Amino acid sequence: MILTGSNVQSKDMPDEKLKMFLRVFSSIKQRVIWKFENESIPDLPKNVLIRKWLPQSDILAHPNTKLFITHGGLFSTQEGVHHAVPMLGIPFYCDQHLNMNKAVKNGYAISLHFQSINGDILRGTIIKLLTESTYRKNIERISAIFHDRPTHARDTAMYWIEYVIRYKGASHMRSAGLDLKWYQYYLLDVIGFVLAMIILAVILVVILIRLMLKRVWRAPRVPKPKTN
């Protein structure tokens, strides 16, 4: 297994959570490679290797990598899909939640809330991802879709770089949005026009209602017939 993260550093983990993770890792037979910024963790289990920096993509590419524990960043999830490794996501903020929700929906990951994790939940989730073949089959299917393209991504990138060089900046491909005024770029003129139309419509409705009420108030009242 590999456990990495760059935006959220493992060294900032509360001490009780760190002990919980180490206790769970020591209870499984798999070897754990953990990107951890402090390499002097006391009582480190024998099956856990920690390093301040790790070549994440290279490790994910190894055929013996069975599980990727990640915070769910965009590049990390893309690398996980590229190398077809099931994921255990522990998102913290921003796009991490969206990325892991997509992974869970497609059936190749399980997402956990960091504050709610305990030893039983963590160990049970790891065992489930390692033993249930559904997650491996789903990530292999998604990975095949990811790789199925007319040309290699690197070749595509090189083509467009050389294209821009050949045509000296390729000004003909320059976005027209660069020539817009800032208020046009952000559609403030359109938004202002729509708001003005809404305000005008409200004003007209209010005027019409007032005119109708005035007519009702000014209408002569029919006297009620007297009864003996």
pLDDT tens, residue by residue, 43-96: 899 999 999 888 999 999 999 999 999 999 999 999 999 999 999 999 998 899
Query: HSE-up of 143 (CA within 13 Å, CB side)?
Result: 19
pTM of the model: 0.70
Q: Hey, what are 59's tokens?
A: 């490790």
Radius of gyration of the chain (CA): 31
75-96 CB burial, b ≥16 within 10 A, e <16? ebbebbbebbbbbbbbbeeeeb
For residue 6, what pLDDT is reported? 60
Per the prediction, the chain carries an average pLDDT of 89
For residue 1, name the pLDDT band (cuts at 50, 70, 90).
low
pLDDT tens, residue by residue, 177-220: 888 888 888 889 899 999 999 999 999 999 999 888 888 777 66
Q: Hey, what are 207's tokens?
A: 């005027």
pLDDT tens, residue by residue, 103-135: 999 999 999 999 999 999 999 999 999 999 999
